Structure 1
Amino acid sequence: MDYAGLDYRNIRFPVDRSLTDGERAGRYSFKKSGNASPMDFLSVINLNSNYIELVDRWYSVKGFNSWVGAGVLGLGVLLSFIIVWSFFFAPATVQRGALWFMMVFFLPITLGLIWAGWWLIRTECGRWTHYPMRLNRTTGQVHVFRQNGTVLMVPWKELFITRGEAKSPLSGDTYDLRAHVLDADGVTVRESFSLGYPSLLGNAQSIDKFWAFLQPYMEAKDGVERTYRHLKEGGYLVPVDGRKEGWRWSIARSFMLGAHWPCFQLLFSPFLGLNAVGRMFAMWTSKVPRWPEEVERASPVEADDPFVLTWRDNAPLGWWELWYPLICTVVGVGFFVGVIGWIVSDLWQ
């Protein structure tokens, strides 16, 4: 999966470097939204006349590192236990040389698996449920909740916004709407973050669609109305405004990758179901981000604002959005547990 820029030690996108030729060529103009059809890619938390709030690029894939990390950690613990138990409690007839070889050469590897599994789990669990971004149309400021809990505040017009690209051994080439904070020289990147991420099925053209959605809100005279109509006509707002997402949304969001292909959802239910479980655990163990008082004061929601939208305005999750994915989750997790149980019992025979 694509976790570019995320690590529990706050490793970020490459900074303290010059802009590349590709970034210059892919820069978006504040004055133009482009000709692409606008798409929000399920990234909006709430909307009103003063600001729009978005989730981070890792929110859509949350849960993957949790269940993979748990699997790697569990495998490491199991193999380490077998090696140590065999060394100390194996019958005297077993060759001691082979047992010493396992202790010296294989035990460090299994301990490395335990460390790697814990590292993966910590990229998502015990942190923040998400890392929101608030774009204030009224003040022209962008607020970004960093991975370490601090907040970046930068003027919208001072951002260098371009098409970002990342490579992952599992997901291949992925793209996002990348925002750079530049030094006074106008060429040195001091900080970077993703304004939008079209999920694993997105491509380079998807970023044009997200820019066509986001740019009018900040720049067009009728941007608030246009954005409101777009979100009101279809789709969902992310239910994490001051709260943790519930188990229903964790399941629905995990299976939305294959929303148009029910057979795909069932076929890959062991992976998507585990992702849903990992997502629930990551949300349960993480804290809800809170904006500082100065950010809240600068972005009030007017009582008579006709363009307010939150997750409470979402349509109810129906059969294909929730209940069918729930069945797939039960089937997939049950299949996975059965396979693991068969393997473990076979090892002990």
Structure 2
Amino acid sequence: MDYAGLTAKYQVNRPLSDAEKQHHLPQNKASNAEPLAQISVIKINSTYLECSDKFYPWKGLMAAFTSFVSLLCSYTALSILNIAISKYPTESAAQQSESLLFVPIILVSVAIPSLLALWFLKKEAFCYTHYPLRFNRKTGMVHVFRLDGTTLSVPWREIHFALNPAQMRNFWEVRGHVLSEDRSTVLETFVLPTYASWDSPYLLAQWEFVRHYMEKGPAQLLDKVQYTLDITDRHETFWFGFQRLMAEFSVAPLLAWLMSPLLFPLAIVRWVTMRTCKIPQWPEDVVAQSQIDPEDRYQRDAQHSYVPPQQQN
């Protein structure tokens, strides 16, 4: 539900801040966090790890809220206008003049929130279903699918990862900063999918998952990936989207079921929003670098699902 980087872009072409230097996360240094996938993995194998973006879990929420606000403003303004028009024939000439002056005010009061809602709506609808991150440990490269559909490719070791405050109050996120040759200027920024409070055990969990994968491989991580996102080349189903929204309350199942009456209509908006979006496609050079060995035993994706240990032969 944090939209930093989507509604307002990260600041670039600026000096790396002292806080970003202080909260630097070196790639070759393990944190104290337990590596967790955080229901963000699309694919993991010996070649690459692909994750969804941080906006994906709550996709549709902004569209639902802005649509509701726009409709409410429009309904209110048009209701007032209807009342004014119905009384117009019985009013005096002076009152009729005032009513005519009132019409453009009503139209502007409808237009402004509607245009603002449309601006926010286009941040989620008529764009891409998600913005994947691909960490290729064979080539040592990180590939980022940007909001405009272009891609960024940068060596893993050259990225300055750091904890940065998120847009939501008291929440933090792990951002990757692409630096200039002098290692002092931020040229571009992307973010890992998870954000959490400073004292949360989940704040660095996904960073440690990604770091462990790139530094040590998938062997010890595979059993931690019990769920993958089947969104590589298809739109998610309505039921899948509803489950993904419910998963945000997985730590409190009772709360999830109490919230389900609200999440169900949100899932409908999410499904419609997703259908307006394109599925992201990696460029040919990224695909060429990401070939998977058919015999790779460290695969987990929609076609290679998790099997509990007790069911394994």
Identity %: 31
Q: Secondary structure at the match of 2:142?
A: strand
Question: Contact 1:33–1:211 (CA<8 Å) still a contact in 2?
Answer: no
Query: Residue 89 of structure 2: SS of its match in structure 1?
Result: coil
Relative distance call for 1:264 and 1:92 in structure 2 (3 A) is same
Q: Which stretches in structure 1 are left out of the alignment for 5+ residues? A: 317-349
Paired position in structure 2 for 1:299: 290
Look up the match of 2:145. 145
1:230-271: CA deviation from partner (whole Å, max 9, x where unpaired): 22xxx3111111111111111001111222434423443454
Q: Taking structure 1 as reference, are residues 38 and 240 closer, same or farther at Cα in structure 2, changes over 3 Å only?
A: same
Say if 2:234 is the partner of 1:240.
Answer: no
**1:315–1:217 Cα change, 3 Å:** closer
- AA aligned to 1:111 is A
Structure 1-normalised TM-score? 0.80
Q: What is the TM-score with the length of structure 2 in the denominator?
A: 0.89
Q: Give the letter for the 2:179 counterpart.
A: L
1:89-148 deviations in Å (ceiling 9; x for gaps): 444235436634642444322221111221221110110000011110000111111111
Counterpart residue number, 1:129: 129
**In 2, distance between residues paired with 1:207 and 1:193?**
16
> 2:300·2:306 contact (CA, 8 Å) conserved in 1?
no
Higher percent of residues as helix: 1
Distance 1:270 1:123 in 2: 25
2:172 is paired with a residue of what secondary structure?
strand
Task: Decide whether aligned partners of structure 1 residues 315 and 83 sit closer, same or farther in structure 2, where only a CA change above 3 A counts.
Answer: farther
Within the candidate set 262, 265, 268, 2:259 is matched to 268
Pick one of 149, 170, 176 that aligns with 1:173: 170
Q: In structure 2, what residue type is equivalent to 1:81?
A: L
How many aligned residue pairs are there?
Answer: 304
1:70 paired to 2:67: yes
Deviations 1:57-94 (A, max 9, x none): 11112111111111122123323433443444444235
2 CA distance for matches of 1:287 and 1:110?
30
SS at match of 1:226: coil
Could you tell me how far apart the structure 2 residues matched to 1:201 and 1:163 are? 11
Instruction: Find the residue that maps to 2:189 and give its secondary structure.
Output: strand
Partner residue in 1 for 2:218: 224
**Residues 62, 124 of structure 2: 8 Å contact kept:** yes
The one-letter code sitting in structure 1 at the alignment partner of 2:235 is K
Letter in 2 for 1:264: L
The answer to whether structure 1 residue 40 and structure 2 residue 31 are counterparts is no
Where do 1:254-333 residues align within 5 Å?
Answer: 254-314=245-305
Q: 1:28 aligns with which of 25, 30, 40?
A: 25
Name the SS of the counterpart of 2:176 in structure 1: strand
Question: What is the rounded CA distance, in whole Å, between the counterparts of 1:63 and 1:89 in structure 2?
Answer: 38
Kept in 1, the 8 Å contact 2:10–2:189? The answer is yes
User: What is the alpha-carbon distance in structure 2 between the residues aligned to residue 100 and residue 204 of structure 1?
Assistant: 58
SS in 2 for 1:113: helix
Q: Which moved more, 1:93-102 or 1:43-52?
A: 93-102
Provide the C-alpha distance between the structure 2 equivalents of 1:270 and 1:291, rounded to a whole number of angstroms: 37
The question of whether the paired residues in 2 share the 8 Å contact of 1:76 and 1:113 is answered with: yes
CA contact (8 A) 1:15 1:191 kept: yes
C-alpha distance after superposition, 1:141-200 (max 9, x if no partner): 1111111111101011100001121223xxx332221000001121110100012314x6
Q: Which runs of 4+ in 1 moved over 4 A?
A: 200-205
**Given residue 149 of structure 2, which amino acid in structure 1 is its aligned partner?**
G
Moved more, 45-54 or 239-248: 239-248
Residue matched to 1:333: none
Mapped pair 1:79 → 2:76: yes
Structure 1 residue aligned with 2:203: 207
Residues 102 and 257 (structure 1 numbering): CA distance in 2 closer, same or farther, change over 3 Å?
A: farther
**Residue of structure 1 in register with 2:5 after alignment:** 5
1:159 aligns with 2:163: no
Taking the aligned partners of 1:111 and 1:105, their CA distance within structure 2 comes to 10
